[in-house]
Chains A and B, each alone.
Chain A
């Protein structure tokens, strides 16, 4: 074994972007994830949750919602009001269509993936048809006051439930009329603050599941408009909700960082009567859990602390093994640091700029594990800001330390670095 000098690099102040939304590919192995900086990542379950694709973020484009449509096409919608299709081969945002209702808070695809419904700031729900090469506006559904924060299709595609502040409503798709409007807060006496329905789901049995800012998960019969069950899972807000494909399990994310699983269990063994029971709490996150997803064999949650946690369901696992392990994606999967070995330089990549540092050096030698004192502190040489709204996709420094290159989704830049003693100058090539 040779001798190594190990540098402790504590000056890379990367702030990772939190997870904003998650979308599981229906009947497919992929998971799409959008971060708060607009970056979209695609993971593949089949390949050990490998991060397949990364589409870098864009300053003007935030992603509030992602959904998969027919033919493995991925759409995203955000507060800019546009619906964007992502080019998964070219790793870029392909085409954008204006939603026409102000900022878009939510977007869901129907069971077959042929139609997209968006919920807008102005309270409208619009339906778009997925056509080859893009999407086409189809119709406006009944518009009511109050922003539409969450949407859910009935699996058969006949109804849409739209969650808003203090209420949610059920809309029939064919007629476009609101058939039921349910006040979430109706039975609470003198509710002082508004109750935000953060997430909603419509089950095939006709049950509406809502998660609200009072920390409740409530089950409603939408035809009668009655509350069937109410589970107060948390003292803080319940932010996100995902239902398994079999509709026997629900995962709820809350703003305390805890996620809860609710299961539909038989009241009596072998009996027909079933009831939702809150079963397992998980505390993997330190901040709000904004997005949850339920794959057939795992609970997936992503939070503002930028972690993606995949917890396999033990009862679905055949044996203990690699698949059954808990996974946490804390670190970025891409290479954000590049090193010029000869020049003892490090290049750090941030979303909008690059930083070039010179490593510290020492004259002492020591034994294994000893900490050596530095005679020269690490030095911040240069900060290079990229132009334009696009985020940096990748970057590199040459081994001799004289060339720096970076690229965005559309452009490539190359700089020459010249060190003159203490001063450093950059020249664009």
Chain B
């Protein structure tokens, strides 16, 4: 028996971005958003994910910038902790343990040492309360945040249901048809409710709330698409509201601009609406955003806003309501019907994307490569409308041909279409080659190409199986019509059936000589040259769920999984059952580069993974309790370079990916947690223990001497000297040699820096200037401009003498960067 595995399951994409509103950093250069258990930092300019901040043990439900320090970020999670991060470096600073589930997080500039979170009320189900948590100022990383004081009772669980008013004077919460406002100073709680009666399609239930940043005005979104703007709500009776109405369905989120002159709203229409001056007549639209808008957030300077969509896409939008860019990870589609397919050309995962589209998802960069419109019809967002969608996808071995099947949602008469696409090198995309209407009379259950690399395109065969009890073989034919634009097209070559059973699966053997087609309870094997039925296999009871051929050394085996929980392996030479095992297999996936086959079972609410070779009934690897969710699909993706794992041979050439019910992509990693996490969390520690290089020795000696002098002479004068000297010296030592000015010039600066300056008050202001100038000079140094040199001359001559050690942050960072550079080559000299 093989010992239970110790591979780690790692989420690698597709995590819902829907936990909380995204947050822009104070300078709008970075966008921070929640992705499952992680917080991601994204550069707005370069469209790259900069940092992944992991550490929460469960879904992150809220992120907010620290109002006291805009380089820090609070995050809260369902695991009951609030973490404070330095998001520029990706370092967790503090962790506050609250204990209960935290569902939303709010910070206030006026409340210095506390944040507000939504927690479930003790002893009652589905009731929540807003509490303020005192963040104790203790030493150390892990602290307790147990001092809770209830602010509001009976609030909604979503972060959209609570908003803080202008300067934190009041807090608003909405739930169902009730709105409550609590004024902190006056300790006054006002409740307003709308009528619950749904008249004329009206539905007054609240969906979201935001507060005007400058005025006392509350904007609420409603389930029927109305937006209400509440004023005068400090009066119990004389409150008043006006109504804006454009959305036809629920308003998902609202956001005010920084001055409050503009209001943005979004909903299922995928249209961002901008209302000016709270007037219903002036509004602008940004339509066709692709999918329903879930959250809207504004940057603090008002230049950018971003929308989070239900399919895990993020759009960044300029202030003039122009679409700027989007972040697309794994797009969440309504249902992944196509399965996980690997594009042989790009090694990208291919699956359903937007409705009617095929997405190509790059695993390395966690980005969508492109989206191929297969259905080519306008998608209309309306409940109950029958849409056409993509159900099956297959690639030929080298990725030149792509076959897709689409069908409408109608159960009785599915409008089937089989499309064959040829990859065009010039336009770097697939072009439609053949469209076949109604290839089968009923739903198509499976489809595969004959995978033969060496034989070339002539041997390409496509097999489709359908519920109309036949399987069809499609081949390429030369077009004889001289007017035809293409040289080849596809047509049906052979129709096979077996006792009028529904065909469910098909699969080619590795050399392409045999085709296995399963018909309900029976597996039939056909010769792919003559289309003769060779033999049949059966393992009653139960229909065949999956079949696949073994590969390489095991190519004489055929594996099948049945409904009644049996995994069978038949020997094709002897036509006999080799072995069978009792296992409820939901996913059966062979590795294209090795003999291994992965089977995922679903038993008593947990998924288990079994990896085996067909020639031996014992699994190579077992991992029980892979994850809590049901695993729907799996795929082996070939690695670019084989991994050196002696323990897990089956993971050497390919990597296994799973897609769960919630459309989260997971993989198995051989590396331990410490290795996998970027060493960012230990960056500081590394900094202290730099490798010993000649320079660091020199620097260390220098420092040491300084310290000694300090202790000897007291800290009055020498302190000054040290402060001034060190940046100049540091700069000398850390600037790369090829950008340094000549040594004769540096000499005077170096000596100057060792002198004691007379005045040090005004130095602080000029320090920045020096820094700017030297930086500029560095940039220009490639050209070695004379004027630039002169500039630098004067700058250094005048200012370096009075430089202080009060380094600006960016300067410090610069230094750190330089220090991190590897100088070990020097020691080798």
| Chain A residues within 8 Å of B, Cβ to Cβ | 231-232, 235, 263, 265-270, 277-281, 314-315
Contact = CB atoms under 8 A, between A and B. Distances in A.
B242 A280 contact: yes
Interface in B200-247: 214-216, 229, 231-232, 234-235, 237-243
B281 A279 contact: no
Contact of A279 (B166, B235, B240): B240
B169 interface: yes
B281 A280 contact: no
A25 B166 CA distance: 42
Chain A CB within 10 A, most for which of B166, B238, B240: B240
B281 A235 contact: yes
A280 B216 contact: no
Contact of A265 (B231, B243, B279): B231
B243 A269 contact: no
B282 interface: yes
Contacts of A268: 166, 215-216
A35 B358 CA distance: 68
A209 to B, nearest CB: 17
Contacts of B238: 315
Nearest to A267: B215
A265 B232 contact: yes
B176 interface: no
Given A265-B231, A269-B169, A277-B231, A232 B282 contact: yes
A310 to B, nearest CB: 19
A130 to B, nearest CB: 37
B241 A279 contact: yes
A268 B232 CA distance: 9
B373 interface: no
Nearest to B240: A279
Given A267-B215, A267-B216, A268-B216, A315 B239 contact: yes
A265 B281 contact: no
9 contacts: A263-B231, A266-B232, A267-B214, A267-B216, A280-B240, A280-B241, A280-B242, A281-B242, A281-B243
Contact of A269 (B216, B229, B237, B281): B216
A270 B183 CA distance: 12
Given A269-B169, A279-B231, A279-B242, A232 B216 contact: no
A268 B166 CA distance: 9
Interface in B157-186: 166, 169
Interface residues of B, number: 21
Contacts of B166: 268
B278 interface: yes
B204 to A, nearest CB: 15
A185 to B, nearest CB: 17
A231 B232 contact: no
Nearest to A263: B240
A235 B240 CA distance: 23
B251 to A, nearest CB: 18
A131 B237 CA distance: 44
Contact of B279 (A278, A281, A315): A278
B282 to A, nearest CB: 7
Nearest to B239: A315
Contacts of B215: 267-268
B281 A232 contact: yes
Contacts of A278: 242, 279
Contacts of A315: 235, 237-240
A276 to B, nearest CB: 11
A267 B281 CA distance: 21
A267 B243 CA distance: 18
Contacts of A235: 281
B237 A314 contact: yes
Contacts of A232: 279, 281-282
Nearest to A216: B281
A281 B228 CA distance: 12
A315 B231 CA distance: 13
B579 to A, nearest CB: 76
B242 A277 contact: yes
Nearest to A235: B281
Contacts of A263: 231-232, 240
A280 B231 CA distance: 12
Contacts of B231: 263, 265, 277, 279
Interface string B236-268: 011111110000000000000000000000000
B234 A277 contact: no
Nearest to B233: A269
B414 to A, nearest CB: 46
A315 B232 CA distance: 11
Contacts of B234: 269-270
Nearest to A229: B277
A180 B273 CA distance: 40
B322 to A, nearest CB: 25
A234 B278 CA distance: 14
A281 B238 CA distance: 16
9 nearest A-B pairs in the assembled complex, by CB-CB distance: A315-B238, A232-B281, A315-B237, A269-B216, A279-B240, A279-B242, A267-B215, A269-B234, A265-B231
A232 B238 CA distance: 24
A265 B239 CA distance: 10
Given A269-B169, A277-B229, 13 more contacts: A231-B279, A266-B232, A268-B166, A268-B215, A268-B216, A269-B232, A269-B234, A277-B240, A279-B240, A280-B240, A280-B243, A315-B235, A315-B237
A268 B237 CA distance: 17
Contacts of B240: 263, 265, 277, 279-280, 315
Contacts of A265: 231-232, 240
A270 B232 CA distance: 10
A267 B292 CA distance: 33
B94 to A, nearest CB: 35
Contacts of B214: 267
A383 to B, nearest CB: 43
Contacts of B242: 277-281
Contacts of A277: 229, 231, 240, 242, 278
Chain B CB within 10 A, most for which of A267, A270, A314: A267
Contacts of B229: 277
A268 B215 CA distance: 5
A47 B278 CA distance: 40
A338 to B, nearest CB: 40
A268 B281 CA distance: 24
Nearest to A260: B242
